[in-house]
Structure 1
Amino acid sequence: FTLFFVLFGAVIADLSLEWNKFKHDYNKRYATVAEEMERKQIFIENVKRMHSYEKTHPNATFTMAINHLSDRHIEELVSRRKNHVRSPTTSFKSSIEVNNLPESLDWRIRGVITEVNEEVGEIITAVVSTELVETLHAIETGQLIQGSIAQVFDCCPQPIDAFDCIKNMSGICRKNDYPVPLGKCEPNKCQPVYVYVKSSVDNNV
């Protein structure tokens, strides 16, 4: 029993050290002691889950790590609005050639993906839609330009199909030209930085 409590205490101490490092690295501040205790518990649960997965999946092809969202439940990171998922109108052709594929492909090291966005909640659909268009544009042109998530959020509210909406706007403005949500759509506030065609998504997904 003594050995068990010693090991248990060591685990708790390690998690507390990780928690303190997490708060320092990401400059975390909480409004009350109660909120901090709640966030700490969520953080510990997430870290334990991560370590457990690493032990049970030693041959996983990806790695897991602590980031700025480690003190949140997954439910907090998705939109609270009802999701409307539409079936694709076209089907993939079974005759697509799959020869000469690379063993691996990481778009992150090719400079076509922007940094992780910290936005969560109802704006997440606009985040994903904008970043996908950014990446497709970067793959085709070699230029990675940050688009305005705020514009997509204002002008393409759910359950509107975000990609149809972006197409109807003729593209997305630069982030700097439409930096924050205005509470209403202002399509003429800026000039789209690139034209978006929905078929490009269908062909690349």
Structure 2
Amino acid sequence: MEKILFLVILLLAISFIPHITSVPFDERDLRSDESLWDLYERWQRHHAVAREHQEKQKRFSVFKENAKFIHEFNKQGKPYKLALNKFGDLTKEEFESGYVGSRVHKRKMFLSHTNTNKFMYDSVNVRDLPEFIDWRLKGAVTNVKDQKTCEQELIDCDTSDNQGCSGGLMVDAFKFIEKSGGVTTESDYPYRATNGTCNAMKIKSSVVVIDGHEDVPENNELALLKTVANQPVSVAIEASGQPFQFYSQGVFTGNCSTELSHGVAIVGYGIDKDNTKYWIVKNSWGPDWGEQGYIRMQRNVKAKEGLCGIAMAASYPIKTSPNPPSRKGNISLPHRLSNLYAAELVHTCPCSLAQGT
């Protein structure tokens, strides 16, 4: 038992070793426009960003303000840090428009998330739950994507309620997968970052099916904990603002509102070394954002909605039937894992605002 615990701790430690996904800097880099320009040049080389002269001057002004904001923020001693990541020369508004804001009306989030007494984990005893769980260690989580590698099948074909590149809701995506008889592989239906025409032949070649979905009782982090202890969960959060834009590492504690605007997946939970309880949240901004594409968000906060509204609109798929027979060249997911995989797959996202445009 002690060996297993040691291995879990070791894997966690390795997973949180920050990769060089941002450009380090200090106060000396902020002293003059000349030193800031050198910093901007380093940032462009690091992220392989090329700007035309006129655009570069404009972006430099944005970059300067972002660098100063990050530096001042990190001096405040909060439990999480910001960094000059790939969003370094985007304004807050550009970032929100390209990576956060869905044009699906926010009220629809609540209309889709129906209040129901049906909750399959209601009888779970909280005392029996593990103190820590990470579905990544159990093989139930796919690689982190960068909104340039979202599920094209859902963008093209799930258009009755969702709006393709304009964004959508996780519950509607679950309904589409149920109705269409499953979802195919990304290699069969690759992402193109644009709205397209649904390929009817490809959506018939499903490898994962689900039999239904349920909502986690809203505004209830305890119910959310029971669910995450059993499988990953699709949730919505409010993810705008510079602290989210430049998040690098640590347990995110806000500030944020409850104006839900972004779909993510909770793939675990734990307790930090200072006894702060957190959710392990998988994002869709690439592995070069945050903690290799993830963010740890504080849980058990005073607000019933959870931090950034994380407990307001959570859903998960239900699976009882077997997957379709595997076809040549396709993987066949184990029954249990395919149920877990479906939950973290369906945090639909809009087309991204590409760097360099």
Bin the TM-score by the shorter chain: 0.5 to 0.7
**Identity percentage over the alignment?**
25
The CA distance in 2 between the partners of 1:50 and 1:197, in whole Å, is 45
Shift of 1:151: 0.8
Aligned to 2:297: none
Measured against aligned partners, the alpha-carbon deviations of 1:162-186 in whole angstroms (never above 9, x if no partner) come to 2211222222211111114572112
- Cα 1:187–1:200 change in 2 (3 A) is farther
Say yes or no: does 1:153 pair with 2:155. yes
Aligned to 1:65: 83
**Which protein, 1 or 2, shows the higher relative CO under an 8 Å CA cutoff with sep ≥ 6?**
2
Structure 2 alignment gaps of length 5 or more: 1-26, 163-171, 217-226, 234-357
Shift of 1:197: 3.9
Shift of 1:117: 0.6
Contact 1:172 1:193 in 2 (8 A): yes
Contact 2:29 2:39 in 1 (8 A): no
SS in 1 for 2:37: helix
Q: Residue 164 of structure 1 is aligned with which of 157, 175, 178? A: 175
Larger radius of gyration: 1
- Cα 1:49–1:177 change in 2 (3 A) is same
Aligned to 2:125: 97
Say yes or no: does 1:40 pair with 2:57. no
Say yes or no: does 1:175 pair with 2:193. no
Measured against aligned partners, the alpha-carbon deviations of 1:53-80 in whole angstroms (never above 9, x if no partner) come to 322243x1x4433332333232332346
Residue type of the alignment partner of 1:177: D
Contact 1:152 1:162 in 2 (8 A): yes
Residue type of the alignment partner of 2:99: L
Give runs of aligned pairs for residues 1-205 of structure 1, distance below 5 A.
Answer: 10=31, 12-30=33-51, 32-58=52-78, 60=79, 62-72=80-90, 73-79=95-101, 81-83=103-105, 84-87=108-111, 88-89=113-114, 90=116, 96-99=124-127, 101=129, 105=133, 112-119=141-148, 127=150, 149-157=151-159, 159-160=161-162, 161-181=172-192, 183-190=196-203, 191-199=205-213, 202=216, 203=227, 204=231, 205=233
The CA distance in 2 between the partners of 1:107 and 1:42, in whole Å, is 38
Measured against aligned partners, the alpha-carbon deviations of 1:137-169 in whole angstroms (never above 9, x if no partner) come to xxxxxxxxxxxx111100113733222112222
The CA distance in 2 between the partners of 1:184 and 1:105, in whole Å, is 40
- Cα 1:189–1:27 change in 2 (3 A) is same
Measured against aligned partners, the alpha-carbon deviations of 1:3-34 in whole angstroms (never above 9, x if no partner) come to xxx9796264554343222211221122x322
The CA distance in 1 between the partners of 2:35 and 2:127, in whole Å, is 48
TM-score, normalising length: structure 2: 0.39
Contact 1:167 1:196 in 2 (8 A): yes
Q: Say what the alpha-carbon RMSD is for the aligned residues.
A: 3.6
The CA distance in 2 between the partners of 1:109 and 1:44, in whole Å, is 39
Higher strand share: 2
Q: Structure 1 segments of 4 or more deviating over 4 A?
A: 6-9, 11-14, 91-96, 100-111, 200-204
The CA distance in 2 between the partners of 1:13 and 1:102, in whole Å, is 53
- Cα 1:76–1:40 change in 2 (3 A) is farther
TM-score, normalising length: structure 1: 0.62
Contact 1:169 1:187 in 2 (8 A): no
